[in-house]
Amino acid sequence: MLVFGIDVPLVEVMLAMLIVIFVVLLETIVILALLTRQTNKIKKLSEAVERISHGLGEVKSSENKILDVLKKKK
């Protein structure tokens, strides 16, 4: 097989392509693992933010109840 005007056996070309494909496959696996890890971290963070916002809503509603009671006393 001619590659850039040089006669290269087909086995070496197939071997080079196999190495490149293997490297790309490894990179893909690493990227998918990192994406999965980040997705889990984002999910935990969003749950924490939701809990905090729920807690703040409860505090706000209890403050409003206390203020209503104080306004009625005046």
CB 8 within 8 A of CB 18: no
Interval 45-68: pLDDT, tens: 999 999 999 999 999 999 999 999
Domain presence at residue 23: no
Domain presence at residue 73: yes
CB 7 within 8 A of CB 1: yes
| 2 pLDDT higher than 80 | no
Structure tokens at 14: 């197939």
What residue numbers bound the domain in which 53 lies? 49-74
Domain presence at residue 61: yes
Instruction: Name the band, by pLDDT with cuts 50, 70 and 90, for residue 22.
Output: very high
Q: How many domains does the chain have?
A: 1
Q: Which amino acid is at 42?
A: I
Domain presence at residue 67: yes
